[in-house]
Structure 1
Amino acid sequence: MHASLNELPARADIDGASAEVVLIVDDVPDNLSVLHDALDESGYTVLVATSGEAALQRAAQAQPDIVLLDAVMPGLDGFEVARRLKARPDTAHIPIVFMTGLTETEHVVAAFQAGGVDYVTKPIRPREVIARIAVHMQGARHARQARNALDAFGHATMAIHIGSGRAVWQTPLARKLLQQYFGADDPAPPQLLRWLQVQSALAAQGHAPRPMALVREARQLVISLQERTSDEDWLIVMREVSDTAVVEAMMQNFRLTLREAEVLYWVAKGKTNRDIGDILGSSPATVKKHLEHVYEKLGVETRTAAANLAMNKLRL
């Protein structure tokens, strides 16, 4: 039996099992049934979609290891589905194997131009499909392991095509950090693209690119330009730096509230009241009031004295 199309698990739920995930996309139920049973017996976790629209939704949600895609379907055909999957940074890495009865050269070429890595002809021969999948699955497995390893070390990574301003691919951690710090689902935020254009120009002139730092409360996102992976694709690494431990140390050493410790932390970093207000989401007047409490608890009268005392205490 097929899994319910309306109850498709997310990739996080699927990852609990070791089986690799295959998404089959075909509008003919009989084709789905034959492939589903053969792949299931071979140990794969099998997901299905009966339309192009459903395929895009399921691929984004479940992040399959490979997609078996029917070329000819009503509505969105397989070629357009493939183009859209390859245009999204969260699905661009997924290998696509086309299933088609169209063996004319132009159709085969169209399949590869749309982003396919291989094709099988109809009527489908399950053993052939499984053999093809095994070859491409190995490469997909290595790529997924590499992305997961980068995330595991806290180095979120993505590639951006500077000419089009399009994110070519990104690791799950990179996607999460972009949403947190840029506050949008845009995989290539305008602020990030402007920084990339400037830094790539510096790199082209032989100068060292400069990282971008974004502040969110007591955490910072440091974005660095690594290298050019192709003519116009640039590799970017993002690393989140947490100063939570420093803020907690200030709370304990000076008997400050959390917000007072955060204000003192940013004072020590040389930020103005307006800057601190922007960072903490409060007004400069509120920051000033917190700072007055900090002065009183530290027994000082100026920003410089408070900053120096905080830094000296923390060094000890």
Structure 2
Amino acid sequence: MSMFRNAVWFVKGLNEYTKSGYEAAAKHFVAADLEVDLSGRSFMITGANSGLGKATAQEIANRGGTVHMVCRNKGRADAAKQEIVERSKNQNVHVHVVDMSCAKHLWDFAQSFVQSNVLNVLINNAGCMVNQREVTEEGLEKNFATNTLGTYILTTALLPALKKAQDPRVVTVSSGGMLTQKLNVDDLQFEKGTFDGTMAYAQNKRQQVILTERWATQHKDIHWSSMHPGWADTAAVQTSMPSFHAKMVNKLRTEAMGADTIVWLAVSAAATKQPSGLFFQDRRAVATHLPLAFTASSSQEEDKLVMALQHLALKYKP
């Protein structure tokens, strides 16, 4: 079954996720959607010092938005901030040094941020694909800790700031790779069998889409969306998927193409006319399952995921 899914997905990817797929989709974009003045609006972007996160931060700063860059490495974050400020002539760019894989740090950061800041838009962009099973200092598998639990804790902890804001939104950068995976709630931290980093990552990305759907039903005063940026030529793809990158390099999207739908979901009025909780690709809501792939999960399985995350999140809450 998974071979069938992977084959169908790869053909779909060659058609849609590449640079030519973006160019075909972009013919239908409305340029005016992104002609917005964001002064007075505040955006938090995780993983904002490179790749899609940096491209998104630049676009938001260019339009006058206040940008909160959440990054793990201070040196790289400061260098990215300087570049964003120089290009945008916007001084309202702030660096916060936080490790998304550390649950306790996330709680500490988010709880202090909420006390002194309003937040209009959270963009959950940070992610990792670690190909060997690695455990954090808190004893959590690293991909899961960063991509799923980190996203869950940060989003949950920032809800009070979002709920105080006008037109609040949460955009989570998932991946089309999740289409190859059915939710597996019995082994969230990949303790059984042979470890496969690509599969672990795709599982995490499936979990993010399910969380987005759940949050949309629970918090109707916030507009929620998840999205797939396509296959973009980022440093993360080069390091975590070197053979894929080498094969596909001439077909990959630019970082700006990958970031386009993130920006559109975060800033345009058109995005909030769409129902909350959907999964987007190239500014359009798309299916979260491939045809005949049997990847849909039951509400009981999804409940189990949310309960496991709640339990873990509370365990590390100060």
Q: Same fold (TM over 0.5)?
A: no
| Higher relative strand content | 1
Based on CA coordinates, which of the two structures has the bigger radius of gyration?
1
Tell me the TM-score normalized by structure 2: 0.30
Q: Which structure's relative contact order is higher, taking Cα pairs within 8 Å and 6+ residues apart?
A: 2
